């Protein structure tokens, strides 16, 4: 029963391969770069086989299922460890019974799970075979014949490609009898072997037992010995030599990096980097190469020749790799997560702590490193502005969310492809965004105001007398004399309570227009209108008066704020302040504005009525109704 449950779980996990590939930023609908760490061709030669639930490379013949890939990605040599990790990623914690089943079915897991390796052969009588890659469905490396180092990271360093640098270590190998040539695509096998000696299967660098490297700044966290061959060559010497020659190129400075960062990260230059063998001529292709070390254990190479023809003539890696500049996890403070090494170096140039994935497929590796960090950080995820980068950002943020690790996804390089391009193209833009990052991230936005779904609009002359308005800002725009006459007509109708806010002189002028035909003044007759004398700040005076009325229990009134005596600048400022603060009050306000600021009144007011006088002396009003349809009507002028 338990065995059947285990088999069902294994089948389920095998079916998760496509999901796992997509989480690494891989498009399973097309070919992608081979995932075999020992395939140095850098070709998009691998495809996803949905029926077999494997990925297969037509170049090196590697074939992997999900357990094989997890073994490579997480440095897990046995099926037991691979299954446990896969189960944790997709199904949760592994039942203890499954572990017992695996141990019974795989009594010697170290041997039964030895990676299968597609091979290339020496043509000789002894048929000695040379491995290339890891798993293949047709070839199996036999533990009895060979010793396989299961540390995939170390193996990716020790198995030297025939396309390594000219100063790669020379190995002493036992040459097979009657060896004629090498089936490796070279046109001159003897010349090829002379310049590119290849170790026998299982042969490794001669590493002193007490040689242990200490992680330096910008160095990976893998405790591995310094890589040396039988002649005592050290990879660190090559990196140091390139660093001494860094002034022979302006490549790093052209990409915006500072002298301090170039020196601190030991960046270098190799004027004659042996990159690969030309398939047609058989000649070595040399690059003028920028060298970016991963501490003393590895480095990546960039071709500085901008006229390189092939997409594969740009970038290579060599050595034991981890997350770039992983050392920042041991420092206090926020950390920026970039995609490429140059992006992290760009952020370091501007004074920020940054690390780089070194490839979108390293998301899970970074999550593991973050989990093991003893210092808590806030992470700013800022990967490239392309599909792969954005998918990787989503994947990383999902992991951090589940782990309750604080993070923020940001895009400080838009409209450029990545941070480094933004640095050397528009440095001020990048500096400004980073400097004000907290201000940008703290911007507050408000949702739509559902409480204000229905508003009243003035649609005819009768409604001008009663002013059945909503708690909003309205506007009347006209020449100052027309505005005074128009407002006096509304007040003389005595149909609503009005507070008129203006200077003392404006209040006196309006009073004369209201009372010009009254034979005898009766204060009670004009109880619905109150004048508010504004001495200094009109907006503050208006809102204080509203509070005074509300406290007294009066909420049924309309405030008319006369801005016609203000300069356009002051009137615009007052109109903005009223519009911004009106939401705190439940009364309507009408702003009287000069025609010179009509556009602003149209913009800030719920409804703005433009007023003019026709030849007969009546007021012509033009505005829009609640459906934003233009309407017009005439308000007869009272004698």
Residue closest to 300 by CA, chosen among 131, 418, 165: 165
Q: What is the arithmetic mean of pLDDT over 381-389?
A: 93
Higher-confidence position of 581 and 117: 581
What number is the average pLDDT over the span 310-339?
85
At 312, is the pLDDT very low, low, confident or very high (cuts 50, 70, 90)?
low
User: Which residue shows structure tokens 């998009």?
Assistant: 44
Kindly report, residue by residue over 401-438, the tens digit of the pLDDT: 999 999 999 999 999 999 999 999 999 999 999 999 99
Average pLDDT over every residue of 261-281: 89
Q: How many helices (H) and strands (E) does the chain have?
A: 23, 21
CA-to-CA separations, 112 to 9, 68, 78, 228, in angstroms, rounded:
20, 13, 8, 31
The CATH number given to 454-635 is 3.40.50.300
Comparing C-alpha atoms, which of 602, 508, 585, 496 is closest to residue 539? 585
Token pair in block for residue 429: 């833009």
Percent of the chain with pLDDT over 70: 77
Out of 67-71, 107-111, 191-195, 208-212, give the one with best mean pLDDT. Answer: 67-71
Write down the residue that tokens 């048929």 correspond to.
127
User: Is the pLDDT confidence value at 396 over 50?
Assistant: yes
**Coil, strand or helix at 227:** coil
Residue matched to tokens 């490297």: 213
Given a cut of 90, whether residue 568 has pLDDT beyond it is yes
Residue 146 or residue 333, greater confidence: 333
Report DSSP state, residue 339.
Answer: S
| Distances from the Cα of 441 to the Cα of 123, 253, 389, angstroms | 64, 31, 21
How high is the pLDDT of residue 308? 65
What angle, 0 to 180 degrees and rounded to 10, lies between the N-to-C axes of helices 66-73 and 2-14? 70
Which residue pairs from 309-312 have beta carbons closer than 8 angstroms and sit at least 24 positions apart in sequence? Answer: 312/42, 312/43
Q: Residues of CATH 3.40.50.300 domain(s) within the chain?
A: 454-635
| E runs forming strands in 50-199 | 54-57, 63-64, 119-121, 129-131
- The pairing of strands 46-49 and 54-57 is antiparallel
Name the band, by pLDDT with cuts 50, 70 and 90, for residue 319: confident
**Closest CA relative to residue 262, chosen from 288, 235, 242, 237:** 242
Looking at 506-520, 572-586, 592-606, which range is the least confident one?
506-520
The pLDDT, as a whole number, for residue 309 is: 58
Could you tell me which residue, 131 or 464, shows the higher pLDDT? Answer: 464
> CA angle at residue 560 from 607 to 512, to 5 degrees?
130
206 closest CA partner among 233, 185, 168: 233
On the question of pLDDT at 634 being above 50, the answer is yes
Cα–Cα distances in angstroms (integers) from residue 294 to residues 24, 299, 438, 564, 619, in the given order: 21, 5, 31, 70, 81
Question: Which CATH architecture fits 326-441?
Answer: 3-Layer(aba) Sandwich (3.40)
Query: What is the per-residue pLDDT for 237?
Result: 87
- Which residues, in sequence order, are CB contacts of 198 under 8 Å at separation 6+? 130, 160, 162, 171, 173
CA 352, 355, 358, 359 torsion: positive or negative? Answer: negative
pLDDT tens, position by position, 116-125: 433 333 333 3
Question: Does the reported pTM lie above 0.75?
Answer: no
Q: Tell me where in the chain the CATH 3.40.1360.10 domain(s) lie.
A: 326-441
CA distance 267 to 258: 11
pLDDT in tens, 272-307: 998 877 777 778 888 899 999 998 778 999 999 877
127 vs 130: CA distance, rounded Å: 10
* Per-residue pLDDT at 222: 32
């Amino acid at each position: 029963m338990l065995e059947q449950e285990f088999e069902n779980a294994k089948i389920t996990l095998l079916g998760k391969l496509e999901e796992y590939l997509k989480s690494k930023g891989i498009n399973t609908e097309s070919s992608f770069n081979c995932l075999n760490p020992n395939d140095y061709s850098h070709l998009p030669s691998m495809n996803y086989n949905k029926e077999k639930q494997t990925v297969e490379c037509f170049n090196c013949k590697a074939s992997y299922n999900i357990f094989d890939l997890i073994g490579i990605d997480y440095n897990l040599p046995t099926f037991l460890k691979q299954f446990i990790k896969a189960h944790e990623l997709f199904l949760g914690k592994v039942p203890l019974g499954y572990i017992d089943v695996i141990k019974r079915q795989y009594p010697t897991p170290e041997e039964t799970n030895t990676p299968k390796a597609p091979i290339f052969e020496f043509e000789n009588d002894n048929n000695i075979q040379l491995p290339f890659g890891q798993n293949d469905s047709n070839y199996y490396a036999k533990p009895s014949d060979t010793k396989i180092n299961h540390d995939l990271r170390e193996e990716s360093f020790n198995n030297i490609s025939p396309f390594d640098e000219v100063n790669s270590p020379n190995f002493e190998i036992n040459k097979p009898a009657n060896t004629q040539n090498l089936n490796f695509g070279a046109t001159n096998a003897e010349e090829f072997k002379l310049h590119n000696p290849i170790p026998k299967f299982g042969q490794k660098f001669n590493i002193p037992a007490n040689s242990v490297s200490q992680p330096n700044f910008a160095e990976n966290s893998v405790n591995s010995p310094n890589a040396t061959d039988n002649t005592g060559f050290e990879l660190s010497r090559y990196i140091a030599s390139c660093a001494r020659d860094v002034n022979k190129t302006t490549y790093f400075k052209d990409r915006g990096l500072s002298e301090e960062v170039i020196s601190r990260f030991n960046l270098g230059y190799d004027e004659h980097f042996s990159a690969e063998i030309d398939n047609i001529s058989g000649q070595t292709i040399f690059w003028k190469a920028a060298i970016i070390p991963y501490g003393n254990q590895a480095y990546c190479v960039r071709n500085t020749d901008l006229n390189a023809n092939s997409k594969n003539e740009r970038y290579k890696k060599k050595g034991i790799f981890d997350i770039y500049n992983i050392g920042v996890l041991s420092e206090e403070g926020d950390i920026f997560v970039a995609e490429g090494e140059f992006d992290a170096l760009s952020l370091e140039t501007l004074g920020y702590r940054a690390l780089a994935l070194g490839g979108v497929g390293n998301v899970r590796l970074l999550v593991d490193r973050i989990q093991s960090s003893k210092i808590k950080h806030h992470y700013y995820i800022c990967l490239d502005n392309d599909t792969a980068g954005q998918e990787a950002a989503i994947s990383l943020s999902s992991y951090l969310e589940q782990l309750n690790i604080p993070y923020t996804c940001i895009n400080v390089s838009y409209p450029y492809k990545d941070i480094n391009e933004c640095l050397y193209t528009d440095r001020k833009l990048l500096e400004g965004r980073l400097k004000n990052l907290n201000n940008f991230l703290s911007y507050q936005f408000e949702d739509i105001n559902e409480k204000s779904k229905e508003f009243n609009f003035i649609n005819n002359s009768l409604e001008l007398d009663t002013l059945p308005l909503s708690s909003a800002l309205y506007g009347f725009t006209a020449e100052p004399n027309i505005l005074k006459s128009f407002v006096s007509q509304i007040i003389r109708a005595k149909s609503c309570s009005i507070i008129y806010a203006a200077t003392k002189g404006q209040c006196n002028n309006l009073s004369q227009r209201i009372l010009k035909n009254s034979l005898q003044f009766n204060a009670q007759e004009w109880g619905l209108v109150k004048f508010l004398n504004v001495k200094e700040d009109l907006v503050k005076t208006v809102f204080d008066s509203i509070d005074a009325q509300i406290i007294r229990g009066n909420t049924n009134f309309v405030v008319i704020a006369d801005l016609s005596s203000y300069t356009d600048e002051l009137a615009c400022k007052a109109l903005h302040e009223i519009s911004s603060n009106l939401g705190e009050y439940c009364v309507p306000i009408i702003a009287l504005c000069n025609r010179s600021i009509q556009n602003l009144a149209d913009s800030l007011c719920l409804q703005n009525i433009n007023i003019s006088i026709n030849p007969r002396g009546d007021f012509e009003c033009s505005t829009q109704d609640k459906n934003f349809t233009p309407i017009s009507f005439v308000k007869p002028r009272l004698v």
